[in-house]
Amino acid sequence: MSLIQGQSAPGFEAVTAAFADNFSEGHELGAQFALVRDGEVIVDLWAGHADRARTIPYGPDTLTPLFSTTKAVAALMVARLVDQGRLAYDQPVAEVWPDFAQAGKGAVTVAQALSHQAGLSGFVEAMDPALWFDWDAICAKLAAMAPLWPPGTASGYHPVTYGYLAGEIFRRVDGRTLGTALREDLAQPLDLDIWIGLPEAEHGRCADLQRPPALPDFGEINVPTKAAFLEPWSSPGGRGQAEWRRAEIPSANGHATALSLARLMGALAGDGRLDGQRILSPGQIAEMAQEQIRGPDLVLPLEMSWGAGVMRNGPLKPWGPGEATFGHSGWGGSCVFADPETGLAGAYVMNKQSAYLLGDPRPRRLIEAAYGGL
């Protein structure tokens, strides 16, 4: 059994026990889990190994690839522009990115693009998977693309393209890339070990991934699902791991520690402040988390409720009982959440990936134990 390191505050011992059970039952290789409540760190745990050969311990500063959990951070960065009055959710994307109006997309709003309603879940026509590493080329393809369904009529999860939509909207308004702004405005000033675009000097801290044993169950396969996940070019490839880590793909390739993510989400579960610095106004947190669309997703075989770039806890309740809870999950099992009703926020990262699309049992068990301690 892996030695559990870190600590849980009094009353949250069941979280440590659940974390230990995940390891003793063989569900983990390495993992971190952290909880913040009302700005205070109440759980910070880590255990296991950062490599598949089990020679390198998973430490408190091990960086883990987040996959789609990255989207919550990207949504926060866009929300900051709205909070500053530089962008509006109901504004057409084409107002800041004129080329985006092509192929009937002129009325698509920022909120619709962030809540997976734009009809751009992936590319239907064949392309080199290495093209994903060419930011301008992908943005030009998205701008020219005809939607795969009428925008605004349904959500259809955009697993990779979301990052280019959110990132290009951000860049057109701010002038910097989203990953650069994250580093300069939040990560460095607030000592957050969260990266979108990881410098080479940090690669040695990264956990190796153990891929899942099978593909997720996507249900009945349609054109939007196939484009999103199942084509040979649906995700970046062909350039090697180092270039993948260096790239800025705000939908998919964030790297972070659980503690830093939990601290950031803790601000969103509270008044928007982290260590005295305003991250977002309370009103902006509520606006980001407000439901934009709910119903059967065209890409995921699930009923989803989307805010402006964040998943809402209902109707599936992957992150405890809270109706107002929001966050995001990532391929393989990672997740972040913020519950404004209780002030609780948390993050789970790991390197042994599962095939669950949402609601991986490992973080579910940890979060249930956490709510038991409230």
User: Cα–chain-centroid distance for residue 242?
Assistant: 20
Taking Cα atoms as reference points, which of 327, 271, 337 lies closest to residue 304? 327
Is residue 266 within 8 Å of 345, Cβ to Cβ? yes
Burial of residue 65, with CB atoms counted within 10 A of its CB: 0-12 exposed, 13-18 middle, 19 or more buried:
buried
Residue 89 CB contacts under 8 Å (≥ 6 apart), including other chains: 82, 109, 110, 111, 114, 287, 308
Token pair in block for residue 33? 């889990």
Q: Rounded to an integer, what distance in angstroms lies between the CA atom of residue 215 and that of residue 72?
A: 23
In the chain, count H helices and then E strands: 12, 14
Q: Give 305: exposed, middle or buried? Use CB within 10 Å, 0-12, 13-18, 19+.
A: buried
- Closest by CA to 161, choosing from 177, 172, 145, is 145
- Distance, in Å, from the CA atom of 317 to the CA atom of 67, rounded to the nearest integer, reads 20
Residues with a known catalytic role:
68
